[in-house]
Copies of this chain bind each other. A is one copy, B any other.
């Protein structure tokens, strides 16, 4: 007679008049006589029984928990990704254990240690550790970072994204391009955007310059550069490809404030394509990452870790979306 504690499999068995094993079988969809099944299901409903995740995990080493390891939730891309990952996990009856590492390799190491000692079924990580030791065959899927041939990696098609941006800008009349990007200092899949961008520029014979800023650095030098080369008199660059929509919007606003009109004088394309919460459309012309799709793919990989061909690198298609900062139609809609 435990008064205020939640009902256990034992209570269900007692109420249904069957044994523990039978209840367990019903719960786990194992073959059970029709009569017992009904009785057990009724008892479960009556008592409001819910399986204790911890007991189950202890016995079967199935935790129904996946760790989500991210550096921060302060960048919209990370936030949206986490949103989709969590929903995807919940849809499949899994729980999301969120861990924020704050770009700290030590913290990342700790998270993985926790996963490794079977406190989670696996981890989906967006890591910035320069030299991460991926020990053992712990189920791990990375996003935007290829860690080794035995660790599947999911990313958007960054190279193609870079190409697409260059192609669009050039097609829309740009004759001098700038590629602006913030990096963490740690190599990752997004680096490929630059390659794709430059390749297309070279192929079209359009000059292009790349500026990479460090993550921690102040943006002052960047804005100074933009001021000098774009804002005074005749802009030196008439097309800018930015590493994120966030950056694109900043540049956009900066140009506005300096009287440079977008997209008339300068056209801008960002990266990410996160729709604005209110308008439902993007806040600038952009290369859209299939975030929901990436989340789904990551969860698929983690949950079928052993069945799947491990080492698969999943590279999902990106899409160009006009958003008012380029001289094409803002939307592909009927308008």
Interface residues of A (CB under 8 A from B): 4-6, 48, 50, 52-55, 57-58, 63, 68, 72-76, 78-80, 82-83, 86-87, 90, 95-100, 102, 113-114, 116-119, 136, 182, 218-219, 246-247, 249-250, 253, 256, 274, 276-280, 283
Contact = CB atoms under 8 A, between A and B. Distances in A.
A91 to B, nearest CB: 10
B57 A86 contact: no
A93 to B, nearest CB: 11
Contacts of A55: 54, 58
Contacts of A249: 249
A249 B78 CA distance: 21
Work out how many copies of this chain go into the complex: 2
Contact of A277 (B74, B102, B253): B74
Nearest to A100: B86
Contacts of A276: 246, 250
A58 B58 CA distance: 8
Contacts of A75: 277
Contact of A219 (B52, B87, B219, B279): B279
Contacts of A54: 53-55, 57-58, 63, 119
Nearest to A79: B79
A100 B253 CA distance: 32
Contacts of A253: 253, 283
A251 B74 CA distance: 22
**Best-surrounded residue of A50, A73, A279 (most CB of chain B within 10 A):** A73
A100 B74 contact: no
Nearest to A137: B4
Contacts of A117: 6, 50, 52
Choose among A76, A90, A278, A279 the residue with the greatest number of B CB atoms under 10 Å from its CB.
Answer: A278
B83 A100 contact: yes
Contacts of A280: 218
A138 to B, nearest CB: 10
Nearest to A81: B73
Nearest to A223: B279
Contacts of A73: 73, 79-80, 82-83, 86
Contact of A278 (B87, B99, B247): B247
A90 B79 contact: no
Contacts of A53: 54, 119
A4 B136 contact: yes
B80 A219 contact: no
Contact of A74 (B48, B72, B83, B95): B83
A3 B250 CA distance: 54
A274 B79 CA distance: 14
A98 B70 CA distance: 13
Contacts of A72: 83
Contacts of A119: 50, 52-54
Given A50-B119, A53-B119, A96-B99, 15 more contacts: A6-B118, A50-B117, A58-B58, A73-B79, A74-B274, A74-B277, A75-B277, A79-B82, A82-B98, A86-B99, A90-B99, A90-B100, A97-B98, A246-B276, A246-B278
